[in-house]
Amino acid sequence: MRAFTYQRADSVTHAAAAAIKPGSKIIAGGTNLLDLMKLQVETPSDLVDINRLPLDKIEETAEGGLRIGALVRNSDLAADPRVRQRYGVLSRALLAGASAQLRNKATTGGNLLQRTRCYYFYDVTKPCNKRSPGSGCAAIAGFNRIHAILGTSEHCIATHPSDMAVAMRALDANVETVDGEGKTKVTSIAEFHYLPGNTPEIETSLKPGEIITAVTLPPPPPGVQVYRKVRDRASYAFALVSVAAIFDSTRGRIRSARLAFGGLAHKPWRVAKADQILSDASADTATFNAAANAVLEGARGFGGNDFKIPLTRRTLHSVLAEITRT
Mean pLDDT of 311-315: 97
251 — pLDDT class (breaks 50, 70, 90): confident
Distance CA(127)–CA(176), nearest Å, equals 34
Cross-sheet strand order for the sheet of 211-217: 58-60, 66-69, 211-217, 174-178, 184-188
Whether the pLDDT of residue 299 is over 80: the answer is yes
Report how far apart the first and last C-alpha atoms of the chain are (Å, whole number): 52
Task: Give the 3-state DSSP-derived string for the chain, with helices as H, strands as E and coil as C.
Answer: CCCCEEEECCCHHHHHHHHCCCCEEEECCCCCHHHHHHCCCCCCCEEEECCCCCCCCEEECCCCCEEEECCCEHHHHHHCHHHHHHCHHHHHHHHCCCCHHHHHHCEHHHHHCCCCCCHHHHCCCCCECCCCCCCCECCCCCCCCCCCCCCCECCECCCCCCHHHHHHHHCCCEEEEECCCCCEEEEEHHHHECCCCCCCCCCECCCCCCEEEEEEECCCCCCEEEEEEECCCCCCCCCCEEEEEEEEEECCEEEEEEEEEECCCCCCECCHHHHHHHCCEECCHHHHHHHHHHHCCCCCCCCCCCCHHHHHHHHHHHHHHHHHHC
Whether the pLDDT of residue 249 is over 90: the answer is no
- Quick: pLDDT tens for 255-296: 999 999 999 999 999 999 999 999 999 989 999 999 999 999
Cβ-Cβ contacts under 8 Å for 35 (sequence gap 6 or more) = none
- Quick: pLDDT tens for 316-325: 999 988 888 7
Q: Is 3 exposed, middle or buried (0-12, 13-18, 19+ CB in 10 A)?
A: exposed
- Quick: pLDDT tens for 49-71: 999 999 999 999 999 999 999 99
Phi-psi sector, 127: left (phi>0), alpha (psi -120 to 50), beta? beta
Cα 174 to the chain's mean position, in Å?
13
Cβ-Cβ contacts under 8 Å for 212 (sequence gap 6 or more) = 70, 108, 109, 112, 113, 175, 176, 177, 206
pLDDT, the chain, mean: 96
- Quick: pLDDT tens for 17-32: 999 999 999 999 999 9
Tell me, what's the pLDDT at 228? Answer: 96
- Can you say whether the dihedral through the CA atoms of 191, 22, 32, 6 is positive or negative? negative
Q: Over pLDDT 70: what percentage of the chain?
A: 100
Tell me, what's the pLDDT at 178? Answer: 96
In degrees and rounded to multiples of 5, residue 314 shows phi and psi of: -70, -40
Alpha-carbon distances of 182 from 154, 217, 246, 292, rounded to whole Å: 38, 23, 36, 44
Tell me, what's the pLDDT at 66? Answer: 98
The model's pTM is 0.96
Contact 133, 149 (CB under 8 A): no
Residue with the bigger pLDDT between 235 and 87: it is: 87
Contact 18, 60 (CB under 8 A): no
Nearest CA-CA partner of 64 in 230, 289, 221, 223: 221
- Quick: pLDDT tens for 148-204: 999 999 999 999 999 999 999 999 999 999 998 999 999 999 999 999 999 999 999
Contact 4, 38 (CB under 8 A): no
326 — pLDDT class (breaks 50, 70, 90): low
